[in-house]
């Protein structure tokens, strides 16, 4: 058994792929016999992130972080995010010459550039230094690995994701009665997700958005015919997936997209752009259509047999994800 500390600035009550991945990772590592601890903003005073108040930024100093890490005495330290806690934990490890791993979840330079006039190259320089000081940087897909290698990132290793098929699966009863086909988006409602590209499509059926974020109010006013269902979790979310016909993923900046696996596990084919994330998860598997014309992708995806989606999703397990994560720690 190993004592593992996961340091993350992204944590509950946030609802996103990073939080869900880290939460499930801890559960699976515990099943494998490891002792897992988290260092999160819940342990400190926080302030809302500018332009994104749902994200809380920790107000603390290096000494407080060091004391908490010392109290846990972990054998492995994994720093998941490049936020205040991530940088303080990294400094702790460097000062004490303790090896640590990191993971690259979010294309933060592109997200930041979408909100502020900050060149992505400046942000990548900071992130390259942050991740290269660790012993291993975990990435979810081959496309992301190639992209980061080209930008000078080193020691990159794969860490795939899984899907909870006990929760996300087809259901006989449909909880939605909107006109079909029902076209679903699940995720943060924010500018970097490119949701407008989905909402502007000239396609038949009902467009449905599940999630919350800083862009929701504006999009609801701009697209009154779209069904905005707000934040949904657990059984309620799974039932919505199972009541729809195709999953539309308009983002061009995600590194993976756990929602893609959740949709496939629910029997929904995917319509997306041929970019990082969909290219790696969907590729030429036949369970989705990737096209620069998102409307063409939607129409093509509606023709896909849902059973093919279910068979494909069955290949992804959280246990395998956790074992891969731990093998990267052992490096």
Question: Residue 37 is part of a domain; what is its CATH number?
Answer: 3.40.50.2000
Give the alpha-carbon dihedral of 215, 220, 226, 228, to 10 degrees. Answer: 70
What is the per-residue pLDDT for 243?
A: 98
- Residue 40 belongs to some domain of the structure: yes
Q: Are residues 138 and 34 in the same domain?
A: yes
- Residue 49 belongs to some domain of the structure: yes
Q: Are residues 115 and 217 in the same domain?
A: no
Q: For 236-276, what is each residue's pLDDT tens digit?
A: 999 999 999 999 999 998 989 999 999 999 999 999 999 99
Q: For 165-222, what is each residue's pLDDT tens digit?
A: 999 999 999 999 999 999 999 999 999 999 999 999 999 999 999 999 999 999 999 9
Q: For 270-283, what is each residue's pLDDT tens digit?
A: 999 999 999 999 99
Give the global pTM. 0.88
Q: Are residues 35 and 79 in the same domain?
A: yes
- Gap between the Cα atoms of 105 and 257, Å rounded: 10
Region of 207 please: left (phi>0), alpha (psi -120 to 50) or beta: beta
- Residue 194 belongs to some domain of the structure: yes
Q: Are residues 149 and 71 in the same domain?
A: yes
Region of 194 please: left (phi>0), alpha (psi -120 to 50) or beta: left
Q: For 50-94, what is each residue's pLDDT tens digit?
A: 877 878 889 999 999 999 999 999 999 999 999 999 999 999 999
Angle among Cα 316, 319, 323 to the nearest 5 degrees reads: 110
- Domain span holding position 324: 3-162+318-330
Q: Are residues 91 and 201 in the same domain?
A: no
Q: Are residues 187 and 227 in the same domain?
A: yes
- Residue 237 belongs to some domain of the structure: yes
- Residue 177 belongs to some domain of the structure: no
- Residue 252 belongs to some domain of the structure: yes
pLDDT at position 2 over 90 = yes
């Amino acid at each position: 058994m190993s004592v593992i500390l996961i340091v993350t600035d992204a944590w509950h009550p946030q609802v996103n792929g990073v939080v869900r991945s880290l939460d499930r990772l801890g559960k699976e590592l515990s099943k494998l016999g490891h002792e897992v601890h988290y260092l999160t903003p819940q342990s400190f005073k926080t302030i809302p992130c500018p332009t994104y108040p749902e994200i809380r930024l920790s107000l603390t100093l290096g000494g407080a972080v060091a004391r908490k890490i010392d109290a846990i005495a972990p054998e492995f330290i994994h720093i998941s995010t490049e936020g205040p806690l991530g940088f303080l934990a990294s400094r702790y490890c460097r000062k004490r010459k303790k090896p640590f791993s990191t993971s690259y979840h979010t294309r933060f330079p592109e997200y930041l550039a979408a909100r502020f006039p900050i060149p992505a190259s400046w942000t990548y320089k900071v992130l390259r230094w942050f991740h290269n000081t660790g012993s291993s940087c975990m990435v979810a897909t081959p496309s992301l690995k190639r992209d980061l290698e080209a930008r000078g990132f080193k020691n990159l290793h794969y860490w795939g994701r899984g899907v909870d098929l006990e929760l996300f699966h087809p259901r006989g009863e449909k909880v939605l009665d909107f006109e079909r086909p029902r076209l679903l988006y699940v995720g943060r409602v924010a500018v970097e997700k490119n949701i407008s590209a989905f909402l502007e499509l000239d396609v038949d059926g009902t467009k449905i958005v599940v999630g919350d974020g800083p862009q929701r109010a504006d999009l609801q006013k701009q697209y009154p015919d779209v069904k905005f269902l707000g934040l949904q979790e657990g059984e309620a979310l799974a039932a919505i997936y199972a009541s729809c016909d195709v999953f539309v993923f308009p983002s061009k900046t995600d590194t993976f997209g756990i929602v893609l696996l959740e949709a496939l596990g629910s029997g929904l084919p995917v319509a997306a752009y041929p970019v990082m994330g969909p290219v790696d998860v969907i590729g030429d598997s036949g369970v989705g259509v990737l096209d620069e014309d998102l409307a063409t992708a939607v129409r093509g995806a509606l023709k896909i047999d849902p059973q093919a989606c279910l068979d494909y999703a069955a290949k992804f397990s959280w246990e395998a994800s956790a074992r891969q994560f731990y093998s990267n720690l052992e490096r």
